[in-house]
A and B are shown apart, each in its own frame.
Chain A
Amino acid sequence: MKVLVPVKRVLDYNIKARPKADGSGVELSGLKMSMNPFDEIAMEAAIRFKEAGQASEIIAISCGTQACQETLRTALALGADRAILVETDEALQPLAVAKLLKVLVLREQPGLVICGKQAIDDDANQTGQMLAALLGWAQATFASRIELGSDRASVTREIDGGLETLSITLPAVITTDLRLNEPRYATLPNIMKAKKKPLETLTPADLGVDVTSRLTLLKVAEPPARQGGIKVNDVAELLDKLKNEAKVI
């Protein structure tokens, strides 16, 4: 069974995101970019299926600028067999990505698509669900445990108040939650091997998908700064402040 893993290049999790001075987006220039952490988990899940003999080939896909090649090379170093870059300078929204992935799924015929439940840059949490809907496939989101059978998968997901286990038919789209696994490190020998693995570059036009934005970004701004707390000396002062400054009593 082929497994397809979409991976997104995002601002590194440990770097504090700041709006550009003109509010037109998030400042990215000169900052460390990494693979979306949820996609790393999806990648790790796929590799473990392959190591267990349940997956035959892992295809990593990234949609975006040429720099996404770097993210795909990381995926190849971690264990993907080949990679596809859908290259565009257009700012992609989840629906556009889902449409691109749909065409690639029809071309590659995987038995499973595993992706992160959301990307940490826009937190949209939509691409996996949209892809499943466009394909008419079963979906299981926020997976914290996956057991693959030959034509079904059992997926445990974390929900309010406990765990829910779904049995879904394959092919399917599964999105990963944080606790599914602990992603491995890319090792040097594998990084060197990854340089020789195939990386195909396509454009949205090659796939016949119109990726023009349907939404217009108006402005990106910092949340208003929170005021720090203060220490009061005694109860009388506290009451005074609650009454006259906070006006809550």
Chain B
Amino acid sequence: MPFIEDLAEIVGPAGLITDPSDLAPYNTDWRGRYHGDAAVVVKPASTAEVAAVVRACHDHRIAVVPQGGNTSQCGASIPRLGHGEIILNLSRMNRILATDWDNDTLTCEAGTVLATVQNVARQGGHLFPLSIASEGSAEIGGIISTNAGGTAVLRYGNMRSLVLGLEVVLPDGQIWNGLRGLRKDNTGYDLKQWFIGAEGTLGIITAAVLRLFSLPHVRATAWVALDSPRDAVALLGYLKTRSGDRVTGFELVSRSALQMVLLHIPGSHDPLSQPSPWYVLVEMDDTDPGSDPHGVLESSLAEALRSGMIIDAALAQSEAQADTLWALREQISEAQKLEGISIKHDISVPVSRIPDLIEEATARLEAQYPGIRLLCFGHVGDGNLHYNLSKPNLLDNAAFIEQTLAVNRIVHDTVDRLGGSISAEHGIGQLKVDELVRYKNPVELELMKRIKHTLDPLGLMNPGKIFRTTK
């Protein structure tokens, strides 16, 4: 097959995978929900090689699925069955290209693992703030392409606000070098924004200039028990007025989510002696070593306790205790996986509407499906909730899972009515293509399709993701 020979010539034997057993991990997402049938995985080692591969695909009219650490939540990194797509994996392109400490920027290739970027920045006395549960595997290119969020969005924003420049290989194989480390650059359209969150449908990101921040020296962490999401929102507002922008983390955890972690993750303990229906994990930090976030957090929470906004709180007295509290939050996904299948939603609403969302959606679901178990956790600070549903009994649950579409309708209709989004940080991928059509404004959807057609008229870049394509 001349196409594969072309590829082999470009990337050499080290960059080409065709053995079926070696292909398997690339063709499956980490949740095991999607299985692709790519017969070839290409792993270029440079931007020039990516461009040459894309050009070859363009010439042969072969569709390309870009892939990084393959930790996607909605199947964007997995090819569709029966379309003869290939996977272009960027993991070999993992070099840090430059650090500019005075400009607070770091430039790296798209295959660099997030944890590596965090470490390099930290060693230089800087912070790269994006933090997600998969940071040991997820790669910068994929993180930009899904505009990932995570636990520090409240203070530092999501990936979009951390990208200053991009290098992109366009669908026809041209290279656009936009690796500029500028915070101000009003020279026409801000083209990089098109590729951020585009899930690889407009081109392949090969390198990026990322924003860095000063490294916080002190942090204070607390596990707070409260009665309701309404109290959580009130507490967030109160802490923000008390401490300015020092609140970096504000994670809501339902009792059911904590219980699942305690059940499935060995060595985990309830931080408080009495159960409570809801919790928040609060973190404040400061770059000034002389500041006292512990004191601020302690006195603010004491005030909240007196006014009845919270029930109780455990304050980490050491870094190890702070890490243990964060582990309770971060292990929810893993515990959930061990518990079994559930219907998941990654939704956002304005922070002020979070209590309404949880109350309304839960009431409607409980009326329709008695005995339902809600597992709710997420980044209240930025309006994003993971709102997952299952039934405790295995057989009941299997029947319940079959109702996914109806359940989604109830949850997403409520989200839509409250001015929210049906995909806050995971993207659309293959999973939410139909939901997007239902909830996206038609004008918006049409504009998106026009952009897609302008950049990728042949429809070769990650087809079938975000939109159902005709090709």
Contact = CB atoms under 8 A, between A and B. Distances in A.
B319 A13 contact: yes
Nearest to B290: A30
Interface residues of A, number: 23
Interface in A1-58: 12-15, 29-32, 34-35, 37, 40
Contacts of A202: none
B323 interface: yes
B223 A185 contact: yes
Contacts of A191: 298, 302, 315
A186 B317 contact: yes
A14 B271 CA distance: 19
A159 interface: no
A35 B317 contact: yes
The residue in A13, A40, A77, A191 that gathers the most chain B C-beta atoms within 10 A of its C-beta is A191
B385 to A, nearest CB: 25
Nearest to B318: A34
Contacts of B271: 185
A186 B318 CA distance: 11
Contact of B302 (A13, A34, A74, A192): A192
A185 B312 contact: no
A187 interface: yes
A31 B321 CA distance: 16
Nearest to B319: A14
A189 interface: yes
A77 to B, nearest CB: 8
A188 interface: yes
A34 B313 CA distance: 19
B317 A34 contact: yes
Chain B interface, >50% SS class: mixed
Contact of B314 (A12, A35, A74, A185): A185
B218 interface: yes
Contacts of A192: 302, 305
A182 interface: yes
B319 A188 contact: no
Contacts of B316: 185
Given A30-B289, A32-B218, A186 B320 contact: no
B269 interface: yes
B92 to A, nearest CB: 16
A1 B323 CA distance: 36
B317 A37 contact: no
Contacts of B301: 188
A30 B318 contact: no
B449 interface: no
Contact of A12 (B269, B273, B298, B318): B318
Contact of B319 (A32, A185, A189): A32
Interface string A176-191: 0000001011111101
Given A30-B289, A32-B218, A192-B302, A185 B317 contact: yes
B323 A14 contact: yes
Nearest to B297: A188
B317 A188 contact: no
Interface string B284-299: 0000011000000010
B405 interface: no
Contacts of B269: 182
Contact of B318 (A14, A29, A77, A187): A14
Contacts of B323: 14
Interface string B308-332: 0010111111111101000000000
A161 to B, nearest CB: 25
B314 A13 contact: no
B318 to A, nearest CB: 4
Contacts of B223: 185
Contacts of B81: none
B253 to A, nearest CB: 15
A48 to B, nearest CB: 13
Given A185-B321, A188-B314, A191-B315, 16 more contacts: A14-B323, A31-B289, A32-B319, A34-B320, A35-B317, A35-B318, A37-B318, A37-B320, A40-B318, A74-B317, A185-B223, A185-B271, A185-B314, A185-B316, A188-B301, A188-B313
21 contacts: A12-B318, A13-B319, A13-B320, A14-B318, A14-B319, A30-B217, A30-B290, A34-B317, A37-B318, A74-B317, A77-B317, A182-B269, A185-B316, A185-B317, A185-B321, A186-B314, A186-B317, A187-B272, A187-B315, A188-B301, A188-B314
Interface of A: 12-15, 29-32, 34-35, 37, 40, 74, 77, 182, 184-189, 191-192
Listed from nearest, the 8 A-B pairs whose CB atoms lie closest are A185-B314, A30-B289, A14-B319, A34-B318, A188-B313, A12-B319, A185-B271, A74-B317
